[in-house]
C-alpha cells in the first residue's frame, strides 16, 4: 500500500485529501505544519509528501529547503506542492527547490489520485534504475579486474632473464576493452610476443578478446610458426563466430639465443624497430586479413634480426588514432617522434614517453579507442 503524508494547516483540505486517497487504497498521514513534518520524517519514510505552500510559521518552500539540508534521507521522498496560487513564479521556485509536481486547490479527485500515483511510480522506476545501474557498474568493475588479471602485469616480467626487458600497458576507453597483449616463453629459449585489437568495445569485445587470447596462446605453445598460429586461430574462430567479430593481431617469436625474430601480421599496425645507436622506424611487414574475417586465409612469416640493444615497439591503433580538439589524429609520425625522443630509455620509459606525448596532444579530448603498447629490448649475454 502506498503511503502519503499530507501537510496542510487547513483541516478541511487534510480531510478531503485523506478521503480521496484512502478510497484508492492509500495509507494517509495528516500533519498540520512544516515543523511537524520535519520532526515526523526523522523516524518515518513515506512514499510521497503532499505539502501545502501557504502555511503559518514554516511555509512549504522553507519546509522543503530544511528537509533537503538537514535530512539527506528525505531527498529520496518525492514532494508535490499543494497551492491555490496561480503565480508562475511560485511554481518555478518550488521546482527549483526539488518539488516534483504541483497540484492546484481545490482538488480534482481524479487529478490528485493520478498525479500521486504517477509520481510514486516514477520514483520507484528511478530507484530501480539506480539499483540496476549500480549492479551493472559493480559487474563492469569486476569484469575489468578479471580482464586485467588475464594480462601479464608484473614487471620486470622475467627478472631472471637478463637478455630481455619487456614492458606493456593497456588503457581501455571503457571499463573493459577489446585490446590485449601477451608474452610468454614457449620453451627455455623462445619468447612469444603478441598484441591484438578486437573490432568492438565493451563487454562483447572483452569476451571475444579472452577467447582469442586463449586460442593464440594454445597454438603458440604447440610449437607452430607465427603464420601457422594465426592461420589455425583464424580457422577456429571462423568456425564459430555468429556475431561476425574479428581481431587484428601482430605476433612474434624471438629466439633468445640468436636474436632471430619471426613475426606474422593479421591486419594489425606496423611494428617499429630500432637497432642500437639507431632510430625507431616502421617495419612494413606483409599483412594477412584480420582473424575471424574469412576462413582459409594465408598468413606470412616475416624475419627480423634483433641485435644487442635492439628494441621493438608494437601498439594498437588507439595510439596513432588518438585525436585532439581539432579532430586531428596523433598519427604515426608523431608516434615515431615520441619513440625517438625516448629511444635511449627502458621499455617502460619509452611507453611512458609515448603516452605523455599522446596526452599532451589530445589534452582533455575524449578518446574513442583503447590504447595498448608493448616494447621489448634485446640484451643478449656476450658469447
Mean pLDDT of the chain: 92
Q: What is the CATH number of the domain that holds 248?
A: 3.60.40.10
pLDDT at 211: 92
CATH of the domain at 42: 3.40.50.2300
pLDDT at 174: 66
Cβ atoms 179, 172 nearer than 8 A: yes
Residue 73 has pLDDT above 70, yes or no: no
Q: Give the pLDDT of residue 141.
A: 78
Q: What is the mean pLDDT of residues 299-309?
A: 96
Residues 312 and 185 both lie in one domain: yes
- Residue bearing the bigger pLDDT, 150 or 64: 64
Same domain? 61 vs 94: yes
Residue 15 lies in a domain: yes
Those residues with Cβ within 8 angstroms of residue 366's Cβ, 6 or more apart along the chain or in another chain? none
**Tens of pLDDT, residues 318-367:** 999 999 999 999 999 999 999 999 999 999 999 999 999 999 999 989 88
Could you tell me how many helices (H) and strands (E) the chain has, helices first? 9, 16
- Tell me if 140 is assigned to some domain: no
pLDDT > 60? residue 119: yes
Lowest mean pLDDT among 30-39, 85-94, 148-157, 173-182: 173-182
Question: Is residue 124 located within the same domain as residue 229?
Answer: no
pLDDT digits (tens, 9 = 90+) for 144-177: 777 777 889 999 999 999 999 999 999 887 666 6
Question: Tens of pLDDT along 332-343?
Answer: 999 999 999 999
Q: Are residues 364 and 220 in the same domain?
A: yes
Percentage above 70 pLDDT, the chain: 97
The total number of structural domains in the chain stands at: 2
Q: What confidence score (pLDDT) does residue 90 get?
A: 84
Q: In what order do the strands lie in the sheet with 164-171?
A: 164-171, 371-378, 311-315, 272-274, 281-282
Domain membership of residue 146 (yes or no) is: no
Structural domain including 75 reads 2-129
Give dist(CA 328, CA 297) in Å, integer: 34
The pTM of this model reads 0.75
Q: What distance in Å separates the CA atoms of residue 269 and residue 153, rounded to the nearest whole number? A: 23
Strands of the chain (E only): list them.
2-7, 26-31, 48-52, 79-83, 101-104, 164-171, 179-185, 190-198, 247-255, 260-266, 272-274, 281-282, 287-288, 302-305, 311-315, 371-378
Residue 145 forms part of a structural domain: no
Beta bridge partner(s), residue 198:
247
DSSP conformation class of 56? S
Q: Is residue 48 over pLDDT 90?
A: yes
Query: Does a structural domain hold residue 330?
Result: yes
Are 206 and 338 contained in the same domain? Answer: yes
The residue whose grid cell reads 604447440 is 222
Please provide residue 106's backbone torsions phi and psi, each rounded to the nearest 5 degrees: -70, 155
Residue 180's pLDDT is 93
- Give 166-208 pLDDT, tens digit per residue: 999 998 876 666 789 999 999 999 999 999 999 877 788 888 8
**Is position 174 within any domain?**
yes
Residues 156 and 111 grouped into a single domain: no
Strands 281-282 and 272-274 come out as antiparallel
Q: Which of 52-66, 164-178, 261-275, 301-315 has the lowest mean pLDDT?
A: 164-178
Q: 257 vs 136, which has greater pLDDT? A: 257
Contact, 282 vs 270, CB < 8 A? yes
User: Are 155 and 124 within one domain?
Assistant: no
Task: Looking at the structure, tell me whether residues 46 and 180 fall in a common domain.
Answer: no
Last residue of a domain, one of 129, 159, 191: 129
| In a domain? residue 144 | no
Same domain, residue pair 161 and 39: no
Q: Which of 37, 119, 32, 103 shows the shortest CA–CA distance to 71?
A: 37
Q: Give the span between the Cα atoms of 104 and 15, in whole angstroms.
A: 16
Can you give the pLDDT at residue 75? 61
For residue 144, the model assigns a pLDDT of: 74
Mean pLDDT, rounded, for 305-316: 97
Instruction: Give the model's pLDDT for residue 230.
Output: 98
pLDDT at 382: 63
C-alpha cell at 192: 612469444
Q: Which residue has the higher pLDDT, 239 or 383?
A: 239
Domain annotation covers residue 137: no
Q: What is the pLDDT of residues 280-296, one digit of tens each?
A: 999 999 999 999 999 99
Q: Does 106 sit behind a cis peptide bond, omega within 30 degrees of 0 on the bond before it?
A: yes
Quick one: pLDDT at residue 206? Answer: 82
Confidence of residue 9 (pLDDT cuts 50, 70, 90): very high
Amino acid at each position: 500500500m502506498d503511503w502519503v503524508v499530507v501537510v496542510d494547516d487547513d483541516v478541511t483540505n487534510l480531510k478531503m485529501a485523506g478521503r480521496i486517497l484512502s478510497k484508492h487504497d492509500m495509507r494517509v498521514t495528516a500533519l498540520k505544519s512544516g515543523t511537524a513534518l520535519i520532526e515526523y520524517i526523522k523516524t518515518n519514510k513515506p512514499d510521497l509528501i503532499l505539502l501545502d505552500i501557504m502555511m503559518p510559521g514554516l511555509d512549504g518552500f522553507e519546509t522543503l529547503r530544511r528537509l533537503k539540508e538537514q535530512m539527506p534521507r528525505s531527498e529520496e521522498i518525492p514532494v508535490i506542492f499543494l497551492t491555490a496560487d496561480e503565480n508562475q513564479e511560485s511554481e518555478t521556485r518550488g521546482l527549483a527547490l526539488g518539488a516534483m509536481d504541483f497540484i492546484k486547490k481545490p482538488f480534482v479527485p481524479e487529478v490528485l489520485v493520478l498525479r500521486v500515483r504517477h509520481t510514486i511510480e516514477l520514483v520507484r522506476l528511478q530507484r530501480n534504475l539506480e539499483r540496476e545501474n549500480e549492479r551493472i557498474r559493480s559487474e563492469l568493475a569486476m569484469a575489468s579486474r578479471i580482464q586485467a588479471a588475464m594480462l601479464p602485469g608484473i614487471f620486470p616480467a622475467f627478472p631472471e632473464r637478463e637478455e630481455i626487458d619487456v614492458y606493456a600497458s593497456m588503457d581501455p576507453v571503457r571499463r573493459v576493452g577489446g585490446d590485449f597483449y601477451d608474452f610468454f616463453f614457449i620453451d627455455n629459449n623462445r619468447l612469444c610476443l603478441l598484441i591484438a585489437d578486437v573490432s568492438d568495445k565493451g563487454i562483447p569485445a572483452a569476451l571475444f578478446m579472452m577467447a582469442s587470447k586463449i586460442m593464440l596462446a594454445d597454438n603458440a605453445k604447440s610449437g607452430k610458426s607465427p603464420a601457422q598460429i594465426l592461420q589455425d586461430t583464424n580457422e577456429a574462430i571462423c568456425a564459430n563466430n555468429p556475431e561476425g567479430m574479428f581481431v587484428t593481431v601482430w605476433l612474434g617469436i624471438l629466439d633468445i639465443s640468436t636474436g632471430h625474430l619471426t613475426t606474422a601480421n593479421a591486419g594489425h599496425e606496423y611494428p617499429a624497430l630500432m637497432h642500437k645507436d639507431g632510430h625507431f622506424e616502421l617495419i612494413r611487414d606483409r599483412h594477412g586479413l584480420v582473424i575471424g574475417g574469412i576462413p582459409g586465409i594465408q598468413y606470412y612469416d616475416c624475419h627480423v634480426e634483433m641485435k644487442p640493444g635492439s628494441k621493438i615497439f608494437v601498439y594498437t591503433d588507439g595510439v596513432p588514432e588518438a585525436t585532439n580538439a581539432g579532430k586531428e589524429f596523433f598519427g604515426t609520425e608523431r608516434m615515431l617522434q615520441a619513440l625517438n625522443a625516448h629511444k635511449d630509455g627502458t621499455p617502460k620509459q619509452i611507453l611512458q614517453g609515448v603516452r605523455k606525448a599522446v596526452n599532451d596532444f589530445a589534452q582533455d579530448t575524449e578518446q574513442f579507442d583503447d590504447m595498448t603498447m608493448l616494447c621489448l629490448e634485446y640484451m643478449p649475454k656476450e658469447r
